[in-house]
Amino acid sequence: MTDRDQLAGFATAVAGKVAPIAAAGDEGRVNRRLIRALADEGLLPGLFPRRAGGTREAGVSAVDLCVVRESLGRASTLAENAIAIQALGAYPIVLAGSDEQAGRFARPVARGEAVAAFALTEPGVGTDAGALELRAETDGKGFRLTGTKVFISNAPDADVYTIFARTTPGAGTKGITAFIVNGDAKGLSGSAQHLLSPHPIGRLELDGVFVSEDRIMGEVDGGFRLAMRTLDLFRPSVGASVVGMAQAALDAAVAHASTRQAFGRPIKEFQAVSHQLAEMATRLEAARALVYAAAEAYDRGDQRVARRSAMAKLFATEIAQQVIDAAIQVHGAVALERGHLLEHLYREVRAPRIYEGTSEIQREIIARDLFRARD
């Protein structure tokens, strides 16, 4: 058994243990009991370095992040969503924060004692993150943040936010800074947003929120690079999470086709069904291979990691939706009933084609790199 197999088995076992806690949470709101359970079982701290409250010598590898998210995506999308958002919210602090910042803000997140959020998207500014408008203005003692963030996972219930704001007007991607903001900061308010799948996600309003200079991560005007570093690490694992979901759907479709009778025989004996399952399995395996190739490239430090990550996220999210849709077709109307596994997965799989960069922007990243290589 490889280390990857052991990690996958551990993540799957943890998902089984926390399943009752996951199911008992309020839809669309942060499940703090679930986050704490994921930490107590050792899975959440296993994604963080020791200086940030975790159990690793250094930060998590992209491959290990993929293994955990694929395993959880297959076993429990609620657990997968909780651990992924928690890690994404804290990882800018891990990557660029000082030891003091990592110990003060990331450590409680890794231990499940605090909830983290990654706040980049704004109204009208999603794909074009370099055009964000939330203002960070100096006041002699630090900065005052004013503006709006939307579609922020774990908002408005998070305890600590990584917020990206504009410190230099008109400078595009070179004028953005990353700040650590407490969830109870004066001038910070928010509200929940209700989406197709009930994830904890919301809107933030910042009205002159004060942030001292010791809450800046990295350099002033260097925040965009940090945001992209974080997303490059997490993007292949988005693909891994939906591969896990699609594998659960394929497993369900194979089991159903083996037992469901039509015209006196199992429907697996009809070529229209069996060949569809074969096609689903083949495409899913190709998506899995692309995801792990991208993760391995990230861990090696390959120069073209952005292109590989874009390919992995694009292909995996598109294929996962196709596989889950086909699994529903194999099941028929029963899979459309509220509460059925496939009905749940169908709603869950739609958002990843948009989160952390739409399919369209992934194609743009790939195309630009193709022409850059030619030049």
Tell me the pLDDT band of 305, cut-offs 50, 70 and 90.
confident
The one-letter code for the residue type at 27 is E
Instruction: Single out the residue of 150, 204, 153 nearest to residue 181, CA to CA.
Output: 204
Catalytic residue among 70, 318, 348, 356: 356
pLDDT in tens, 88-135: 999 999 999 999 999 999 999 999 999 999 999 999 887 777 889 999
Q: Are strands 116-119 and 160-166 parallel, antiparallel or unpaired?
A: parallel
Phi, psi of 146 (to 5 degrees): -140, 125
Query: In the chain, where are the structural domains located?
Result: 3-114, 117-221, 224-374
Q: Assess whether 356 carries a catalytic annotation.
A: yes
Q: What would the two tokens of residue 373 be?
A: 């290589």
Intrachain domains 3-114 and 224-374 with the same fold: no
Q: Which helix (H) or strand (E) holds 203?
A: strand 201-212
Q: What is the mean pLDDT of residues 167-172?
A: 92
pLDDT of residue 375: 63
CATH 3.40.630.30 fits domain 3-114: no
Instruction: Single out the residue of 152, 40, 51, 30 nearest to residue 101, CA to CA.
Output: 51
The one-letter code for the residue type at 35 is I
Q: What would the two tokens of residue 80 be?
A: 């997968």
Give the global pTM.
0.94
d(CA 221, CA 225): 9
d(CA 225, CA 202): 24
CATH 1.20.140.10 fits domain 224-374: yes
Tell me the pLDDT band of 195, cut-offs 50, 70 and 90.
confident
**What ranges in 260-304 are assigned the alpha helix state H?**
271-300
Q: Tell me the three-class secondary structure of 121-139, residue by residue.
A: CECCECCCHHHCCCEEEEC
Phi, psi of 182 (to 5 degrees): -70, 145
Q: Which residue has the tokens 């694929």?
A: 70
Please say whether the dihedral angle defined by the alpha carbons of residues 76, 80, 81 and 86, taken in this order, is positive or negative: positive
pLDDT of residue 1: 66
pLDDT in tens, 228-269: 899 889 999 999 999 999 999 999 999 999 999 899 999 998
Q: What is the mean pLDDT of residues 324-343?
A: 96
d(CA 204, CA 118): 12
d(CA 262, CA 271): 13
CATH class of 117-221: mainly beta
